[in-house]
Structure 1
Amino acid sequence: MIQLENVTVIRNGKQLLKNINWTVQKGEHWAILGLNGSGKTSLLNVINGYLYPTSGKVRVLGEEFGKTNIPELRKELGFISSSLKQQLKDYDSVLSIVLSGIFASIGLYEAVERKDLDEARKLMKQLGIKHLENSQYGLLSEGEKQRVLIARALMAKPKILILDEPCNGLDIIAREEFLEFIENLAQQEFCPTLIYVTHHVEEILPCFSHALLLKEGEVYTKGLTKNLLTEESLSQFFGRTVAIQEEQNRTWIAIKS
């Protein structure tokens, strides 16, 4: 699904990523964990073809960058970020925003077919937002907006769905509801490969079988999530002694004084 070989990115004399080696296989869901400035955004921009590596090879869905049509390839990637949320128009209806995912456009400017309407309503029902189809986007809660963005992304039937810190701006109740929604989504047959980016350990759900820990632009470690979220590993990763607690199959951490 994704293969990065010795990927290094240097811009304006600053090294954003260094020798990234990472492979995502079909059937895996990954969490990417890193503090602010660790290179998470740069890594996502490389995968989406917005940032070209200074050296190294990038393959996404079997297509090697530099030898493929990246705009066409992007149609098979769902990318949900805070910048996309801010671009959408508050007065647009939920249904029109979901339908715009077919064309990857901000706003709906083309005619849609009956089958598209049926698919949009089916997705909204599956994601628990069917009752909001005529609501204005700007009147939704942050959690509802995130579900709308996911429905919009799934309209294009992407093979990979990237969630870039999707819980930013959510209160604790909305966050937990959204995370429950993601866990349920991962169990659905129609769910694409998930890449979930966060700097909060407790957001790493049981569905994320694998994790990549990114630090100062480098892969600190990667592998099975259950092997990485330990006190020893996380203490070394954060450079602070931490205590962990397992609750509801999730790992919660606190920094020891």
Structure 2
Amino acid sequence: MTNVIDLQDVSWKRQQKHILSDINWHVEKGEHWAVLGLNGSGKTSLLNIVTGYSWPTTGHVRVLDKPFGKIDIRELRKSIGWVSSSLEARLNESERAEDIVVSGKYASIGLAYEQPAEADFDKAFQIIEQMRCSHLIGRTYRTCSQGEKQKLLIARGLMASPDLLLLDESTSGLDFISREELLSAIQQLIKQDNAPTIIFVTHHIEEVLPEFSHTLMLKDGTVFEKGPSSDVLTTDNLSRFFDMPVNIEWHHQRPWLSIR
């Protein structure tokens, strides 16, 4: 499989209003993308299209080499991990950290109706260690910090060994130190031999890690720019993107934004 995401002339309307318009976006295996946009730019709507929770009004969608309209979307979703703030709100905070992670295998909220095997917990422990949070094993979810919860949610998303992992504003609500710890864990994940293709959605430029080889910029539901991150994230592009003069400086292969 080389074709991970292929959107051709995709538009999506809700209540007669265009939320996404003329989206063309191609992601190949081996690429990891950052998706940038201000609030309301269409980032989460785009993920809903990719996962089949929203159907395009026009255009063609192909994910993991599977053309929409010719496949069982429910089966496709088993190969996609999606981490978002909406998921966190649905979890039972009295569950143990490892139970939260194991539930990702079944795409369930909790394990009330599941019977995981010992091998499932062994795998969960390995993923938790990979996410650098082994100290959370045995603890309830409510006792974890916001940064620790985000790491557990990513571990949960990895439990089914997805080919595609969508991280929807995973750093939201984190302080600077917690954010950098989470980004470091994501860096290590990407470097794994069996790492899924990662789509990292954010509205913070400085969160575009060197490992995110490409960047898609969304503005008002359309593609503003896309391509290799170093080509896309320029002072000129971002000044036009934000409709105000800004400056980009690169430190340790990460872009940092300031207002001119």
Alignment TM-score > 0.5, same fold = yes
Runs of 4+ in 1 over 3 A off after TM superposition: none
The number of aligned residues is 256
Deviation per residue, 1:98-120 (Å, 9 max, x gap): 11111000001211112212111
Q: Does 1:28 align with 2:61?
A: no
AA aligned to 2:66 is E
Deviation per residue, 1:160-217 (Å, 9 max, x gap): 0000011111011111111111111111112100000011100100000000010110
Q: Does 1:59 align with 2:62?
A: yes
Equivalent-residue separation in structure 1 for 2:187 and 2:11 (angstroms): 33
2:12 is aligned, of 3, 9, 24, to 9
Partner of 1:233: 237
Task: Tell me the secondary structure at the aligned position of residue 70 of structure 2.
Answer: coil
Q: How far is 1:121 from its partner? A: 1.1
Alpha-carbon RMSD across the aligned residues, in angstroms, is 0.9
Partner of 1:179: 183
Partner of 1:224: 228
Partner of 1:244: 248
AA aligned to 1:184 is Q
2:137 is aligned, of 129, 133, 155, to 133
Task: Tell me the secondary structure at the aligned position of residue 66 of structure 1.
Answer: coil
Moved more, 125-134 or 141-150: 125-134
2:216 is aligned, of 207, 212, 227, to 212
Q: Does 1:192 align with 2:196?
A: yes
AA aligned to 2:9 is N
Q: How far is 1:237 from its partner? A: 1.3
TM-score (norm 1): 0.98
Task: Tell me the secondary structure at the aligned position of residue 134 of structure 1.
Answer: coil
Q: Which ranges in structure 2 are unaligned for 5 or more consecutive residues?
A: none
Deviation per residue, 1:125-155 (Å, 9 max, x gap): 1111222111010110111111101111111
2:170 is aligned, of 161, 166, 169, to 166
Deviation per residue, 1:25-74 (Å, 9 max, x gap): 00000000011111111101000111100000011011111111111110
2:52 is aligned, of 49, 53, 67, to 49
AA aligned to 2:216 is L
Equivalent-residue separation in structure 2 for 1:244 and 1:131 (angstroms): 38
1:104 is aligned, of 84, 95, 107, to 107
Q: How far is 1:248 from its partner? A: 2.0
Partner of 2:98: 95
1:151 is aligned, of 148, 155, 180, to 155
Q: Which ranges in structure 1 are unaligned for 5 or more consecutive residues?
A: none
Q: Does 1:75 align with 2:90?
A: no
Task: State percent identity of aligned pairs.
Answer: 51
Equivalent-residue separation in structure 2 for 1:59 and 1:112 (angstroms): 32
AA aligned to 2:81 is G
